[in-house]
Structure 1
Amino acid sequence: MDSFTKEFEHLFIKLEDIKSATNNFDEKNVIGGGGFGKVYKGEVSHYKGRSMVAFKRLDRKFGQGDPEFWKEIMMLSCYTHENLISLLGYCNEGCEMILVYEHASNGSLDRHLSSTTLTWTQRIKICLDAARGLSYLHEDKGNHQRVIHRDIKSSNILLDENWNSKVSDMGLARIGPANQQYSAFFTNIVGTPGYLDPVYLDMGILTKESDVYSFGVVLFEVLCGRLCFEKYNDGFLSLVPTWKKSCKLNKMDKLIFKDNTVKNIDPTSLITFTDIALRCLNKSREARPTMSAVVEKLEIALKSQEPVDHLIPKEYQEIVKAVVPPLIYRSVEELKVLLSKGVVLNGGKTISRGPMLQLSLGFQCTCEMSILDTSYLIHA
């Protein structure tokens, strides 16, 4: 342990500095919590300078302890990537064991699943960032080793001020050989119910494909705008079987998050995103894609969606978002045809006061009131 602490001595932060930054762990500075303990925010000096950070304070009653603490330090020091949360320091003075991370100001993904402001493009981008981080852990980096995270879930995907996502919480990770097609471990089952690979759950066999399954659950959460489970009697009911069944029956309309911010989805983008999410949840681990393949498919989904987002100037995109039912179009010509037929804004609930709008698309549109249903129509 002495050699270990010497290797990472540049990361050490004094307890008194942490207490000062958090006002002696004041509850007002708590920004989260989980299987390790509470997380506090505060500004402190570290080996990279001085900045706002997140302090994860070990609380042993939650089940994690010294092994997870030191493993997290080792993992995040040895494996660095723009889509992995950065470790800035640690403290192990007295009875305290605290990990210090870069501060992700927008919190964890689970808090934003039902957000009314995240666009479909932003949702894809968040998933793509996280997929790149996980793919980095899985790939051989020249040492014939790979990392299996073991606890991929939306609450372990953090979002910075620019909505870039980063995979966090490496305390349960395992290192395995990367020169085998399937690196399998017989191990005790850890992780979060609802996200666990059925093969791992039933047989205790852990592989990198176990992470792929968990990531597939996250993809569906982003698509559906909700967590993968709901409370049922004294326990929790997994929604994953229902999601898979709806996809196989082509009943996607029952799944997609029904909010204005997720309207105007390019059909190709939706199909590509849903297809790779469903493949991740395949019962057979051999049939699941690699994380590098997931990255490729999400890049395609993002590329398919981007032209839709740029068809009209930004200042008029709110008008298109307000159309009920949502418009799906892939060209200016398709948009012209749809608007020429007249479309309803928010089912008549929203009043538009603009007399004439020039959309820079080679045509004009006017907003006027329908006397019959008091809805608002847009006519080309």
Structure 2
Amino acid sequence: MSNLKGLAHLRMSLDDIKSATNDFADNRILGRGGFGVVYAGQLPTTHRSACEPGTPVAVKRLNVNSHQGDKEFLKEILMLDSCKHKNLVYLIGFVSEDTERILVYKKEDNGSLDKHLGSTDLTWEQRLRICLGAARGLEYLHSSVGTEHRVLHCDLKSSNVLLDANFEAKISDFGLSKIGPKNMPHTFLATVPCGTLGYVDPEYAISGVLTKESDVYSFGVVLFEVLCGRLATVVKSKDEYEFLSRLVKKYYAEGKLDDIIFPGLVEQMKPGSRELFSNIAFRCLNQDRKLRPTMRTVVKELESALEHQLINLDDDEEIIGLSGSIGVYNGHELVTSLCFTTNKRKYGPFNPEADNRFSGSWDAGLFDGFYGRHGSYIDAVGCCLKAAARPKAQS
């Protein structure tokens, strides 16, 4: 493949991959699909890359008879080589020798999200953080990969959201992705519909017109998978499927959404968190794509849902301490994380902590709660006072 000449820094030898996977041994298989087989392995000492020898890897060996041909193989390499974000999967390298087409990724310890949907061990807070991470990754693809173009994923689903050791979400599988212009609010591409049953935007499936809002629809389905603890499509019989999107619309319209939320989650949810999450997820499924939110809006709403979940002080609870860390963003020193300590518990940290940390005491008093917005840094924070102590309005 002559188009791979500029990607020498990612090229790996077939011998290295055979060594990493014990010659594609069956006991190394992580999963199978129409594209081929994924194997677990470890980087051999002979390979030079940004990752240390022994790094766990996931090796996707493409089936030569699959729908993913050389075009999709090259597209995924180019996409992941140029798109760098903490919520996207990390491509270590590739193999292209004779008929072998292999992609090598950093292996994420907790596998794919679809395997955890029905787990009672996955708390509502963890589910919120996973959704927020995936949303940030998709928002990056739509808005931040370049000044004149955006990436449309085209196959977003829970099995394409990987989870690292800390359950941080990583969007994967870019073989069907498209690049579109960014200089218009509703970028669209005429294309043969692709994607996975149950996740595909209905308007895209009918018209063949792909937009970034098509990704938003698919992401809405993933949000409801996380909320309901089940996959988007359930096979009821040989020729009959039950689609989660239809089920959600029915129960949402009847005001009975709680009836299909995964057992045990309702008790964990703060009302404000549940309302914000379900509302933004439902907006993603709007039949009219022009009424769907942008991924930037989805990120902000999920941030608010997480904050509502984390912050809810008891009547006898007072804040007694404040801590956090300082980092540099665009040349400016800014607060990158915050923790609040009360006489009962610690809240936070909100955002990953940097090395330069601070802490201090907070006089007990009128504090009743806090709220804010954060992305790469804390860009808004506010405090709530106890109702009885708020100043009376002057006539």
TM range (shorter): 0.7 to 0.9
Partner of 2:110: 106
1:41 partner amino acid: A
How many residues in Structure 1 have an aligned counterpart in Structure 2? 314
The alignment status of 1:167 with 2:171, answered yes or no, reads: yes
Aligned: 1:129 with 2:133: yes
C-alpha distance in 1 between matches for 2:150 and 2:88: 15
Distance of 1:200 and 1:165 partners within structure 2: 26
How far, CA to CA, are the matches of 2:268 and 2:236 in structure 1? 34
Distance 1:53 1:35 in 2: 20
Preserved CA contact (<8 Å) 2:113 2:163: yes
Once residues 228 and 193 of structure 2 are traced to their aligned partners in structure 1, the CA distance between those partners, rounded to angstroms, is 27
Structure 2 CA distance for aligned equivalents of residues 142 and 211 of structure 1: 18
Q: Structure 1 residue 285 and structure 2 residue 267: aligned?
A: no
Q: Which residue of 2 aligns with 1:9?
A: 8
For residues 289 and 272 of structure 1, the distance between their equivalents in structure 2, rounded to whole angstroms, comes to 13
Aligned residue identity for 1:247: Y
CA distance in 2, matches of 1:61, 1:262: 45
Aligned mates of 2:206, 2:220 — CA distance in 1: 18
User: Scaled by the length of structure 1, what TM-score is found?
Assistant: 0.80
Indicate if the aligned counterparts of 1:29 and 1:42 stay in contact, CA closer than 8 A: yes
Report the Cα distance in structure 2 between the residues aligned to 1:60 and 1:198, rounded to whole angstroms.
Answer: 30
Q: What does 1:268-307 align with in structure 2 at a 5 Å threshold?
A: 268-307=272-311
CA displacement 1:261-287 (0-9 Å, x = unmatched): 663210000000000000000000110
Equivalent-residue separation in structure 1 for 2:225 and 2:142 (angstroms): 22
1:72 has 2:76 as partner: yes
Distance 1:82 1:361 in 2: 33
2:88 equivalent to 1:84: yes
Cα 1:114/1:12, change in 2 over 3 Å = same
1:224 to 224, 228, 246: 228
- The partner residue of 2:143 within 129, 139, 142 is 139
Match of 1:195 among 190, 193, 199: 199
Q: CA deviation at 1:6?
A: 2.6
Displacement of 1:173 after TM fit? 0.4
Shift, 1:46, TM fit: 4.3
Q: Aligned-pair distance for 1:248? A: 2.1
Please name the residue that 1:42 is paired with: 41
8 Å CA contact 1:184–1:205 kept in 2: the answer is: yes
Residue type of the alignment partner of 2:204: Y
Query: Are 2:254 and 1:254 aligned?
Result: no
Question: CA shift at 1:36, angstroms?
Answer: 1.7
Higher relative contact order (CA 8 A, sep 6+): 1
Query: TM-score under structure 2 normalisation?
Result: 0.77
Q: Contact 1:29 / 1:41 at 8 angstroms: preserved in 2?
A: yes
Native 8 Å contact 1:46 1:88 kept in 2: no
Distance 1:334 1:124, change over 3 A: farther
CA shift, 1:140, in A, is 4.7
Q: 1:52 to 1:119 in 2, by over 3 A?
A: same
Shift in alpha-carbon separation, 1:19–1:142, aligned structure 2, 3 A: closer
Letter in 2 for 1:183: T
- In structure 1, the residue corresponding to 2:195 is in which secondary structure? coil
Partners of 2:183 and 2:157 lie apart in 1 by 27
| Partner of residue 239, structure 1 | 244
2:271 matches 1:267 = yes
2:314 to 332, 355, 368: 332
Task: Indicate which of 197, 208, 212 corresponds to 1:208.
Answer: 212
What amino acid is aligned across from residue 97 of structure 1 in structure 2? R
Give the conservation status (yes or no) of the 8 Å contact 1:140–1:178.
Answer: no
User: Could you tell me how far apart the structure 1 residues matched to 2:48 and 2:306 are?
Assistant: 36
Aligned to 1:325: none
Contact 2:83–2:145, Cα closer than 8 Å, also in 1:
no
Identity %: 49
Distance 1:196 1:57 in 2: 26
Q: 1:141–1:25: structure 2 CA closer, same or farther, 3 Å change rule?
A: closer
Alignment of 1:166-185 (within 5 A): 166-185=170-189
Give the residue type in structure 2 aligned to 1:332: D
Gaps of 5+ in 1: 308-329, 336-359, 363-380
What amino acid maps onto 1:31 in structure 2?
L
- The equivalent residue for 2:157 is 153
SS at match of 2:151: strand
CA distance in 2, matches of 1:62, 1:96: 13
Distance 2:11 2:189 in 1: 33
Mapped to 2, the partners of 1:118 and 1:142 lie a distance apart of: 35
CA RMSD of aligned residues (A): 1.7
The aligned counterpart of 1:315 is: none
What is the distance in 2 between the residues matched to 1:154 and 1:207? 20
The residue type equivalent to 2:28 in the other structure is N
Give the 3 Å change call, closer, same or farther, for CA 94–114 of structure 1 in structure 2: same
> Could you tell me whether the CA contact under 8 Å between 2:221 and 2:244 is conserved in 1?
no
* Contact 2:4/2:74 (8 A) holds in 1: no
Question: Which digits, 9 at most, give the CA deviation of each residue in 1:67-103, with x for residues without a partner?
Answer: 1100000000111111000110000112211000011
Q: Give the superposition deviation at 1:47.
A: 1.3
Q: Distance in 2 between matches of 1:248 and 1:333?
A: 35
How far apart are the structure 1 equivalents of 2:77 and 2:66? Answer: 19
SS at match of 1:254: helix
TM-fit CA distance, 1:142: 4.2
